[in-house]
Amino acid sequence: MKSKKFASVNKDICVSCGACTGECMLGAITTPNGCYAVVDTDKCVGCGRCSMICPTGCISIKDRIGA
């Protein structure tokens, strides 16, 4: 069962520093192309750890539609 929330990255603001990737317990957030962070929404449980550590505040926690 998927969680009700998930992390979402604002690509325009993300600097791809990797602070979030180091914080995620599930390895659900990565920076594959070095341009911005990408969230694996299947893995993400929306705990908000990445959002709390992001220096630019580009990660928000959103509600999953239909969850």
Partner 1 sequence: MNKKKHWNDYLWIWTLIYFSLGFFNILFAWLGMIDFIVPIIIAIVKGNKAFCNRYCGRGKLLALIPSVFKMKNQRVAPKWMYSKYFRYGFLAFFLTMFANMLYQTYMVFAGAPLKTAVKLLWTFKVPWSWSYTVTTVPEWITQFSYGFYSMMLTSTIIGLVVMALYRPRTWCTFCPMGTMTQSICKVKAQLKK
Q: Cβ 1 to partner 1, closest distance in Å?
A: 20
Q: Cβ 60 to partner 1, closest distance in Å?
A: 12
Lookup result for tokens 């893995």 = 43
| Nearest of 64, 66, 57 to residue 4 by alpha carbon | 64
Q: In the stretch 44-63, what mask flags binding to partner 1 with x, by CB under 8 A?
A: --------xxxxxx------
Distance separating alpha carbons of residues 61 and 49, to the nearest angstrom: 10
* Site for partner 1, rule CB under 8 A: 13, 15-19, 21-23, 25, 31-35, 52-57
